Amino acid sequence: MRAARDALWGRLQCRRQFTFDHQHYFGHHVLDSLFAEEDIATAVAEFIKDKGSRFDITSTIFRMGRQTFAILLWNHKEESITNFIQHRVLDGRLPLEKSLAQRIVPEFGESFALEWQWHFLPFTLDSDLQLHHGIIEQERIFPYLHQESIGEGAFGEALLTAVDSAQQTLTTSVATQAAEEGQFVPDLQIVQIKFGNDEIPKTVVRIVRKRFKLPRGQTEESRDRMIANERNCLRELGRLKHRNIIQMLGSYAHRDERSILFPYVEMNLEEFLKRPDRFGDFIHDRTFFSALQGLASALACVHNLKLNVETHGIELERIGYHHDFRPQNVLVNSQTFLLADFGLSKFKPVEDGSRTEWKAGAPSYRAPECTDMRFRPQKVGRGIDIWAFGCMVAEIVTYMKNGPDGIAQFRRSRHSPGTHPRVEDESFHNGRELKPAVHQWFGTLLGEPASSYAADLVSLSRSMLEVDAEKRPDCPKLCKKLNFLCAKSHFTPAVEALERLVSLMEASLEYTEGLPIMELWFELERLKAWSAVFGLVGQSRWFPGFDHTKVGEGEVEKLRLVSRKMLGRLQLELNKFDSNPHHTDMMKPNAIDASVVSEIRDLVQDLWELLSQRNKNRAQFLWCAGALDTHDVGRLHTLELQKPTARGDQYSSISALAAIKRLLLQFERDLPSEGACALLAESDVRVEDRFGSNHIGTYQDSTKVFIEVLHYDTRWEGMKVEERATRMQLVAEGFHQSQELPELRVPKCIGFIPMKNAFGFLYPFPAATDVPRTLLELLDAKRKSVPALEARIQLANKLVSSIAELHTVGWLHRNLNSNNIIFFTRQDYESEENIENPYMMGLTRARPDSDRWHSEGPDDARLVDYCHPEYAKSRRFQAAYDYYSIGIILLEIGLWRSVGSITSKWPTATPEDIRITLMEKYAKDLRSQMGSAYFRAVLACMNGCLMSGEGREDAATSRLDFYERVGDVLGRMSEFPL
């Protein structure tokens, strides 16, 4: 009786798999599903009569011998399972040697060992093949269900291979690796495909198998050395987990074949350049820049391979080359390019140098130095890869602009004599220079219709196509350039989309409290400021070309992700406008999805977090300057109203600055105030002491106040008292806002009182202080101790930050001197404590930076030394004169003596002579006392390099120069403990 065994055999037959070459096999998962314990017991009962023995044999088969039992059952020898159990040879011992099999079952042991068992032991592709080259038994069956040739070269053939998904662990191991390490693995996925006449699709994983040939005249040993070299290159590069380098899945030798396995990628670049339609994400120009940037990064890793124990598990440094860089060896998926085919590559110790004899390669991309006129190979270096990359960039920009027809035309145009005058080819040179056709083609690419990407890529290609290899950029320089171009390509569409949305919203809505329009505009300015740090924006008055930070791969990758998310989110909002061209529904405040503001803000913050602290400060300065670069009182008021919904100090400070600038503009234009009345009753203030030209008093018998006196200007003589009070109301409101801006170093103003021919502005003493002192008083004290170096640097930084904030709102101090820098302290404080909290006074003489205002210089003759010599001639004040004044104060702080104590020795010297002597003699002492950076900052303030012209753009540039040369320098100095 065989019913149970026949049924099990029939089910086994139905689960057979056939390879592309018609071999059959049974996968491990088949046996697990078919040979349940009860099925085994039923089959065993048909040939084992003793119940006790049946139970033990069934249990043993299920636990340890299902494969062995299946082999025997398939060949109708299942009763011999007892022989294998008795010899203690079951699944764990498979495959069996012929001698052992014959000892166990003499009658069919040879067949078992040489044939039967292998149908049940198909090869499983796993990650061990990456670590170690596999030498596989000749009898082993590979689970390749389908195979087709997709390319062939001199040394091998590329085979698209469908692997039975159940006989591989690559998808699991590689996916886990990718998730953990950020690696990009192209299309290594389980898919269902029908092959030939199959009715039921097969579940497979597609890979590419590079099968090596044995060319005529080559020995097996030389072939194996070539394979080992390529495998070694791929193995070491694989440790990098670089998303633009093809990953080797493994390699093995089987019978007379040698193979290396790779993930399947849709096409190579040569095929891509022949497509009439752009593939995948390459519908966007920015994807080309990302792909080229990644390819340059990959080539840089080949040229300079550096591995470390912490990241890669091994310490290794090598120099290398590719030497076969061409479109056929660059793979393309829907998102990027991948560098492949390292058959001619090699890694060498650094001390060996990179020069080696040129072997072979595509003539189209062959560099001039590869051969002489008789085509004899020459010694070459890594520069031939750069040349080939330049050729590739030229063809890629051609495809971007003119498609496959442009590629064909470009190649035809190059078909002319090359290195040898009698041999025509499609190379880019004739042995001495670029072919004229290449120059002409570049001119065509730069013609109409003009495109920024074409100009960038043509320039890049030209830099790489230098006939003199020494003049070509190396990979690090190439990567820096492509990092920048890639970042710009992703930034530009994102900022343009945000600008368009803001513009459409402005056209549809009035400035209204609570609407997201100004918050989006806020983030737009912030995004521009971030990009300005890297020089990604074009020239403008607030974002000129200063010393930009280099864009690294981390910034490029983050910007790519942020840009993708931002563009997707903004497009949803833009679609609302595009579907409603008359914007009839947009008049409603809730028509714009409020969540878009939050999402855009978070995305911009993601970019902001990439910045170093120094660059955050630079970006903050640029953001603030750009946001406040308006004289529109309404817009400033709307910015001011963002404070309740804004997050963080950055937003709050801009809101506060906008409030101050609005009030000061109202003051300049004689516009009325809407704030609470700041005019205080004169009877509430008791003046007690004089403090220079100002006073100290008490407000309402309880609050100690500093009273700064503003005497009437002659232009106010015809004003009514009410008009004067209105203007002073605006000034007081502006100084009241200073409490929101600690960097401004201006005390909070609680109001003003009328005085004889003047107004007095009241500033309460800070808590726990009782004595005001000026910096000039400390500098000229007969008994003085010099504060510590770090205390003086902190003081200098606070004063420079204060003047920078004042200029940000468009006002000039005009009366900056040591007598207007006040410290509120206690009498028993040490000198370092005395100067911890400076306050900037004298702001009642401050004026807008505009042509409408003219005034005299300081009245006190002692303070003339703080005035720039040019001011006495022009009587037209500009920001650089404030910078000169702060430079004099920084000089005083560094030397810890007043400028008057120096210049009093030169009673007949002209102001210009004094300026030059102070720079050439006294400022030089700052090097030894304060450091070279401090000295250069002071010199920048005094030597006229911050002078501006007449226009607003010149003033903006001057402000940015002051930040870069002075503010940023002192800011960084103050961050480090001394």
Total structural domains in the chain?
A: 6
**130-183 pLDDT per residue, tens:** 889 999 999 999 999 999 999 887 678 999 999 999 999 887 655 445 444 444
User: Tens digits of per-residue pLDDT, 602-644?
Assistant: 999 898 888 888 788 878 888 877 777 777 777 777 776 665 4
Question: What is each CA distance from 102 to 76, 543, 849, in whole angstroms?
Answer: 17, 85, 104
Q: Which of the two residues, 546 and 5, has the higher pLDDT score?
A: 5
Average pLDDT over residues 231-254: 93
What are the distances in angstroms from CA 196 to CA 160, 166, 193, 209, 323? 15, 21, 10, 20, 40
3-state helix, strand, coil in the chain (%, to 5): 50, 15, 35
pLDDT tens per residue across span 331-355: 999 999 999 999 888 888 877 666 6
pLDDT of 513 over the 70 cut: no
Of 595, 627, 659, which marks where a domain is finished? 627
Q: So what's the pLDDT on residue 855?
A: 35
Report the pLDDT value the prediction gives residue 628, as an integer from 0 to 100: 77
Q: Are residues 828 and 958 in the same domain?
A: yes
- Please tell me whether residues 173 and 313 are part of one structural domain: no
Give the CATH number, domain containing residue 228. Answer: 3.30.200.20
Same-domain pairing of 744 and 803: no
**Exposure of 673 by Cβ count < 10 A (0-12 exposed, 13-18 middle, 19+ buried)?**
buried
DSSP-derived secondary structure for 672-688: PP-SPP-BPPGGGEEEE
pLDDT at 874 over 80: no
Residue 97's pLDDT is what? 96
Please report the pLDDT score of residue 398 as a whole number: 96
What single-letter DSSP state applies at residue 230? Answer: H
Same structural domain for residues 345 and 407? yes
The reported pLDDT for the residue numbered 102 is 96
Greater confidence, 638 or 31? 31
Q: Examine the domain organization and report whether 739 and 852 are in the same domain.
A: no
Instruction: Tell me which of 215 and 430 has the higher pLDDT.
Output: 430
Specify whether the CB–CB gap between 398 and 459 falls below 8 A: no
Residues 813 and 917 in one domain: yes
What's the pLDDT at 444? 92
Q: What is the pLDDT of residues 355-403, one digit of tens each?
A: 675 666 667 888 888 766 565 666 778 888 999 999 999 999 999 999 9
- Residue 857: the pLDDT is 40
Who contacts 445 (Cβ-Cβ below 8 Å, separation ≥6)?
A: 397, 398, 401, 454, 458
Let me know whether 819 and 871 are in one domain. Answer: yes
Tokens of 190: 């389980």
Residue 625 has a pLDDT of: 77
Q: Report pLDDT for 98.
A: 95
Which pLDDT score is estimated for 739? 63
Weakest-pLDDT range from 99-103, 367-371, 506-510, 942-946? 506-510
Do 611 and 559 have their domain in common? yes
**pLDDT per position as a tens digit, 43-64:** 999 999 888 898 999 999 999 9
> Which tokens sit at 248?
């080797």
Residue 494 falls inside a structural domain: yes
Whether residues 132 and 101 fall in one domain: no
pLDDT (0 to 100) of residue 290: 96
Give the sign of the dihedral formed by CA 398, CA 401, CA 407, CA 411. negative
Indicate the residue among 88, 120, 152 that finishes a domain. 120
Considering the domain boundaries, does residue 140 fall inside one? yes
Distance CA 303, CA 342 (A): 12
Pairing between strand 751-755 and 703-711? Answer: unpaired
92, part of any domain: yes
Over range 496-522, report the average pLDDT.
73
CA distance 489 to 493: 7
Residue 264 DSSP label: -
| pLDDT over threshold 90, residue 581 | no
Q: Write down the pLDDT at residue 905.
A: 87
The domain boundary residue, chosen from 120, 142, 160: 120
The whole-chain average pLDDT of the chain stands at: 83
Asked whether the predicted pLDDT for residue 770 surpasses 80, the reply is no
Tokens of 41: 């017991």
**Model confidence pLDDT, tens digit, residues 690-713:** 988 889 999 998 899 999 888 766
* Boundaries of domain holding 798: 774-975
**824 & 965 share domain:** yes
Which pLDDT belongs to residue 864? Answer: 83
Nearest to 130 by CA among 180, 93, 179, 185: 185
Dig out the tokens for 718 from the structure.
């015809």
Q: Is residue 292 part of a domain?
A: yes
Do the Cβ atoms of 446 and 424 come closer than 8 Å? no
Residue 324 CA from chain centroid, whole number: 30
Alpha carbon distance 484, 490 (integer Å): 10
Read off φ and ψ for residue 651, nearest 5 degrees: -70, -45
Predicted pLDDT at 331: 96
Q: How far apart are alpha carbons 673 and 660 in whole angstroms? A: 12
Question: Which one-letter DSSP state was computed for residue 922?
Answer: I
Mean of the pLDDT values across residues 873-900? 88
Confidence bin at 329 (pLDDT 50/70/90): very high
371 phi/psi in degrees, rounded to 5: -135, 160
Lowest mean pLDDT, pick from 569-583, 797-811, 893-907: 569-583
Listed residue (941, 904, 898) closest to 919, CA to CA: 941
Candidate from 248-257, 423-432, 560-569, 814-823 with smallest mean pLDDT: 423-432
**Token pair for residue 929?**
């006392």
- Percent of the chain at pLDDT > 90 equals 43
What is the residue whose two structure tokens read 């990718």?
178
Q: Is 383 helix (H, G, I), strand (E, B) or coil?
A: helix
The pLDDT-based confidence of 858 (bands split at 50, 70, 90) is very low
pLDDT (0 to 100) of residue 852: 44
How many residues in total does the chain contain?
A: 978
pLDDT of residue 515: 56
CA gap 254, 277 in Å, rounded: 41
Q: Is pLDDT larger for residue 366 or for residue 957?
A: 366
Instruction: Specify the range with the lowest mean pLDDT, choosing from 39-53, 179-193, 820-834.
Output: 179-193
Query: Per-residue confidence at 849, pLDDT binned at 50, 70, 90?
Result: low
Q: Is residue 634 domain-resident?
A: no
Alpha-carbon distances of 736 from 697, 749, 846, rounded to whole Å = 19, 5, 15
**715 near 850, Cβ under 8 Å?**
no
One domain, residues 465 and 528: no
Phi, psi of 412 (to 5 degrees): -65, -40
pLDDT band at 756 (very low <50, low <70, confident <90, very high): confident
Closest CA to 812 of 894, 868, 741: 868
Give yes or no for residue 590 having a pLDDT over 50.
no
What CATH number does residue 864 fall under? 1.10.510.10
For residue 583, pLDDT over 60 is answered with no
Residue 431 falls inside a structural domain: yes
Q: How many CB atoms lie within 10 A of CB 50?
A: 9
Tell me which amino acid residue 289 is: F
Which of the pair, 580 or 367, is modelled with greater confidence? 367
Residues 868 and 955 in one domain: yes
To 5 degrees, how large is the angle CA 361–CA 366–CA 367? 135
Separation CA 157–CA 151 (nearest Å): 6
Q: Looking at the domain assignment, is residue 404 inside a domain?
A: yes
Highest-scoring range by mean pLDDT, 7-21, 184-198, 943-957: 7-21
What DSSP element (H or E) covers 130? helix 128-131
Q: What is the pLDDT of residues 262-321, one digit of tens each?
A: 999 999 999 999 999 999 999 999 999 999 999 999 999 999 999 998 888 889 989 888
pLDDT value at position 473? 94
Q: Tell me the mean pLDDT in the region 409-415.
A: 93
Q: Cα–Cα distance between 437 and 424 in angstroms, integer?
A: 13
- The band of 856, judged by pLDDT with boundaries at 50, 70 and 90, is very low
Considering 210-219, 456-465, 767-776, the range whose residues carry the highest mean pLDDT is: 456-465
- Whether 349 maps to a domain, the answer reads yes
